Chain A
Amino acid sequence: MNGPYERSGPDEAEIEALLQEVGAREEPAMQVAEDVQAIVHAEWLEVVRQRRRRRRLTAWSLAASFLLVVTAATFGLRLMTMTAEPVATIAYIDGSMRAIAQGTSGDTAAEPSGLDAGPGAIWKTRAAGDPVARGETLRTDRRSRAALRLGGLSLRLDHGTTLHVLGDDLLALTSGALYVDAPPGAPDTPLTVRTSAGSVRHLGTQYQVRTEQDIAIVSVREGRVDIESAAGTSTGVAGERILIDSEGQLSRGTISPQDAAWSWAQRAAPPFDIDDRPLSLFLSWAARETGRELIYTSPQARTLASELRMRGSIAGLDLDTALGAVLATTPLQRMQSSDERIEIALSPRQ
Chain B
Amino acid sequence: MRSTIIANVKIAVVDHDALTRDFIVNVMMYSVNRHVIGFENARDFLKHLESAGDVDLVLAEIRLPGENGFELLKHLKKVKPATRFIALSSKAVDEDYAHALGADAFLAKPFLLKDLFAIVEHFVVEDEA
Do A and B bind? no
